[in-house]
C-alpha cells in the first residue's frame, strides 16, 4: 500500500496546517486580538471586529464597537475612539465612547471627553476633559422636569 505523502514528488515540503488552538485548550477559549505595534503609524479610519491592542501612533478614528481596545503605554493616539471596553495605558487625545467601561491606568492620560456608563481611574492617571457616565445621549441638565 502506498502512502500519498511518501510517494509525493515534493518530499520535504510541509503542507500548511490549519490553525488549531493550543493542545488542552477548548476552541472556544481561543482569543483573537489585533495588535498594532510600536513602529506603526496609522492615519485614517481604523475599524476592527475583534479585540485590539495598540502600541503605535493612530490619527483619525478608531472603531472597535462590540470589542475591547487596549491602548498600550507607548501609544500616541490622536483619534476619537468607540469600543465596548477601553483600557488606557498610554496617551489619548480625542473623545472616548464606550458602551461598557473605560479604565485609565496609572500611566494613562486622556485629553478629551469620556462618555461611558463606567469609568475607572488609577492614582496617577491624567484626564483633561469632561466625563459623562449617562447611558443616553442627553445630559441630566437637558432632561425635562416631570411634576
Q: Which three cell numbers stand for residue 7?
A: 510517494
Question: Is 12 a residue whose pLDDT tops 70?
Answer: no
Which tens digit of pLDDT belongs to each residue from 52-104?
A: 999 999 999 999 989 999 999 999 999 999 999 999 999 999 999 999 999 99
Question: Is 1 a residue whose pLDDT tops 60?
Answer: no
- Mean pLDDT over residues 107-128, rounded? 97
In this prediction, residue 26 has a pLDDT band, given cuts at 50, 70 and 90, of: low
Rounded to a whole number of angstroms, the distance between the first and last alpha carbons of the chain is 89
Judge contact between 65 and 83, C-beta under 8 A.
Answer: yes
Q: What is the pTM of this model?
A: 0.71
Map out the domains of the chain as residue ranges: 32-125
Amino acid at each position: 500500500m502506498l502512502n500519498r505523502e511518501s510517494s509525493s514528488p515534493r518530499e520535504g515540503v510541509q503542507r500548511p496546517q490549519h490553525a488549531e488552538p493550543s493542545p488542552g485548550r477548548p476552541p472556544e477559549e481561543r482569543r483573537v486580538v489585533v495588535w498594532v505595534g510600536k513602529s506603526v503609524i496609522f492615519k485614517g479610519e481604523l475599524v476592527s471586529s475583534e479585540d485590539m491592542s495598540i502600541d503605535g501612533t493612530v490619527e483619525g478614528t478608531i472603531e472597535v464597537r462590540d470589542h475591547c481596545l487596549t491602548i498600550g503605554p507607548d501609544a500616541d493616539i490622536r483619534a476619537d475612539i468607540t469600543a465596548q471596553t477601553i483600557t488606557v495605558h498610554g496617551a489619548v487625545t480625542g473623545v472616548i465612547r464606550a458602551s461598557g467601561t473605560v479604565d485609565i491606568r496609572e500611566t494613562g492620560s486622556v485629553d478629551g471627553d469620556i462618555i461611558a456608563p463606567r469609568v475607572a481611574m488609577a492614582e496617577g492617571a491624567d484626564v483633561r476633559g469632561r466625563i459623562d457616565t449617562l447611558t443616553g445621549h442627553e445630559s441630566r441638565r437637558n432632561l425635562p422636569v416631570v411634576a
